[in-house]
Amino acid sequence: MSALHVVILAAGKSTRMKSARPKVVHELGGLPLIEHVLRTVDRLSAASTTLVIGHGADDVRAALKGRSGLQFVVQSPQLGTGHALRQAEPVLAGRSGTVLLLYADVPLLESNTLTRLVEAHHAAQAAATVLTASLDDPYGYGRIVRDATGQLARIVEERDASGDERAIREINSGIYAFALEPLFAALGGLATDNAQGEYYLTDFVAMYRRRGLRVETLMLDSADELRGINTRVDLADVARLMRTRRNRTLMLSGVTLEDPDTTFIDEDVTIGADTIIGPGVELQGRTAIGERCRVRAGSRLTHATVGDDVTILDRCVIVESTVARGAVVGPYSHIRPQSVVGEGAHVGNFVELKKTTLGPGSKANHLAYLGDATIGAKVNIGAGTITCNYDGVSKHPTIIEDGVFIGSDSQLIAPVVIGKGSYVAAGSSIVKDVPADALAIARGRQENKLEWAARLREQQGPPKKRT
């Protein structure tokens, strides 16, 4: 087997995206667009992978900072796909084998398709092999022009095509296998005599033909995985295809999606069997959900870890936090980063947690703000409890030990420790630590003025008629 060198073009100006950011860092399925093609390449055993970057190069590098084993080359200025590939010449100089060229904006591509392309290329002993497919609506793609014998004659871009050529439905995928040896010498012969004044890589076909080099095609039955992303409309279309594929895989693995059409689950999310996901749910990033859970309508989980047998009721937002086995959250709860909802704990409606641990079996059922708090086991947080964690300058911690009962509408002014097994009376403003097993009452004493209201009404006489 000859060595496989992958080159991915990602330097383009992304004009049609109308974006300040390069196209290949736009998000698709919770990942930067370019990550999809890289994952496909990961499954091949390539001798090298080279990425041609240029427009927004820093953004692209930042999006890929977790990855190793990539060689970057910079194309500047960006003068077209042919010019982009030429930038890889120094990296591949002195090597031999096959170049697999990919465009970074074709994310649905599958690795076994690439393997098939390389195999076909070798079997035909071709100098180049182009991956193609037929599309009902080929608008925007380069068209495959064949000669009278059916041989590939050239590729013509949409903008440069005649009326007849536009009617051709076979499209260029932008994916090619090249024998390394004649490639770079030939690319030196590309010209810019086209509608965009760019060095089109696709012109290599006609040039190879003129030089008597063998160019083959491999035509796929379906063009679905060759969909390129040029505009935000394409991005939405491909996201829909990807979502359908992802949701189907999840359902077949034992997850119930009540309405797959409105369920948005990112590529890296994992979900255990017999979990039921309601309509309009978004599961993002590295979210992991256990078995037998229920996530009700309209909730969003981003980088969340959820144990088995958890219930997340309607319209919750959970970000970078953990919900342990058997807990119940929602409806309308907001769990902000670095929070932990302990095993069997309950977080109810309009409760916000921020950087807070709620221990096993504890309950915060209604209308509370718990920030920078460490709350033990079997604690009851009454309705309307607020941890006053911010003094305008710094954040301060609140510690609530096991078995504490916080009465409704209390303010806990941090830093403060509420000792094990103690009670805080409803409506208290707690400014100092409460010892274990104590009762803290910190509110104005009530005075009842007897008959006061009756006397008032006497003074006022009978109610006046409205005029």
Annotated catalytic sites, by residue? 366
Q: DSSP labels for 189-249?
A: T----STT-S--GGGHHHHHHHTT--EEEEEES--GGG----SHHHHHHHHHHHHHHHHHH
157 touches ligand UD1 (CB under 6 A): yes
**From candidates 29, 32, 97, 142, binder to ligand UD1 by CB under 6 A:** 142
DSSP state of 446: P
Q: Supply the minimum distance, in Å, between the C-beta of residue 127 and ligand UD1.
A: 18
Name the residue nearer to Ca ion (CB basis): 226 or 277.
226
40 touches ligand UD1 (CB under 6 A): no
| Helix-helix angle 33-42:111-123, to 10 degrees | 60
Taking CB positions, which residue lies at the least distance from ligand UD1? 142
For residue 355, the tally of other CB atoms under 10 A from its CB is 18
> In the sheet that 386-388 helps form, which strands lie side by side, from edge to edge?
264-265, 282-284, 300-302, 317-319, 334-335, 352-354, 369-371, 386-388, 411-413, 429-430
Residues 57, 35: Cα–Cα separation, whole Å:
15
Residues 174-233 that bind Ca ion (CB under 5 A): 228, 230
Residues 300-359 that bind ligand UD1 (CB under 6 A): none
Name the residue nearer to ligand UD1 (CB basis): 228 or 382.
228
**From candidates 63, 79, 205, 257, binder to ligand UD1 by CB under 6 A:** 79
Q: Supply the minimum distance, in Å, between the C-beta of residue 230 and Ca ion.
A: 5
275 touches ligand UD1 (CB under 6 A): no
CA 284 to the chain's CA centroid: 6
201 touches ligand UD1 (CB under 6 A): yes
Q: Which does 12 bind (CB under 5 to 8 A by kind): ligand UD1, Ca ion, none?
A: ligand UD1
Category of 394 on φ-ψ map: left (φ > 0), alpha (ψ -120 to 50) or beta: beta
97 touches Ca ion (CB under 5 A): no
Q: Supply the minimum distance, in Å, between the C-beta of residue 311 and Ca ion.
A: 44
Choices 99-107, 196-204, 299-307, 339-347 (CB under 5 A): range interacting with Ca ion = 99-107
Q: Supply the minimum distance, in Å, between the C-beta of residue 234 and Ca ion.
A: 8
Name the residue nearer to Ca ion (CB basis): 105 or 225.
105
Choices 10-18, 129-137, 211-219, 243-251 (CB under 6 A): range interacting with ligand UD1 = 10-18
Q: Which does 332 bind (CB under 5 to 8 A by kind): Ca ion, ligand UD1, none?
A: none
299 touches ligand UD1 (CB under 6 A): no
Residues 103-122 that bind Ca ion (CB under 5 A): 105
Q: Which does 104 bind (CB under 5 to 8 A by kind): ligand UD1, Ca ion, none?
A: ligand UD1
172 touches ligand UD1 (CB under 6 A): yes
Q: Supply the minimum distance, in Å, between the C-beta of residue 228 and Ca ion.
A: 4
9 touches ligand UD1 (CB under 6 A): yes
Q: Which does 81 bind (CB under 5 to 8 A by kind): ligand UD1, Ca ion, none?
A: ligand UD1
- 3-class state of residue 345 by DSSP: coil
Counting beta carbons within 10 angstroms of the beta carbon of residue 94, is it exposed (0 to 12), middle (13 to 18) or buried (19 or more)? exposed
Convert 393-406 to b/e letters by CB count within 10 Å (16 or more is b). Answer: eeebbbbbbbbbbb
- 3-class state of residue 362 by DSSP: coil
**From candidates 108, 155, 414, 430, binder to ligand UD1 by CB under 6 A:** 155
For residue 242, the tally of other CB atoms under 10 A from its CB is 19
Q: Supply the minimum distance, in Å, between the C-beta of residue 95 and ligand UD1.
A: 21
Residues 15, 140: Cα–Cα separation, whole Å:
14
The number of residues in the chain equals 467
57 touches ligand UD1 (CB under 6 A): no
**From candidates 49, 50, 98, 202, binder to ligand UD1 by CB under 6 A:** 202
**From candidates 7, 51, 52, 404, binder to ligand UD1 by CB under 6 A:** 52
In sequence order, the 6+-apart residues with CB closer than 8 A to the CB of 404 are 376, 379, 380, 418, 419, 420, 421, 422, 423, 424
Applying CB under 5 A, the site for Ca ion has a residue count of 3
What ranges make up the beta strands (E) of 357-422?
A: 357-358, 363-366, 369-371, 373-375, 380-381, 386-388, 398-400, 405-406, 411-413, 416-418
CA distances from 423 to 176, 370, 434, 441 (A): 72, 17, 9, 9
Q: Are 385 and 379 spatial neighbours (Cβ–Cβ below 8 Å)?
A: no
Applying CB under 6 A, the site for ligand UD1 has a residue count of 29
- What does the binding site for ligand UD1 look like in residue numbers (CB under 6 A)? 9-12, 52, 75, 78-81, 83-84, 103-106, 141-142, 155, 157, 171-174, 200-202, 228, 230
- What does the binding site for Ca ion look like in residue numbers (CB under 5 A)? 105, 228, 230
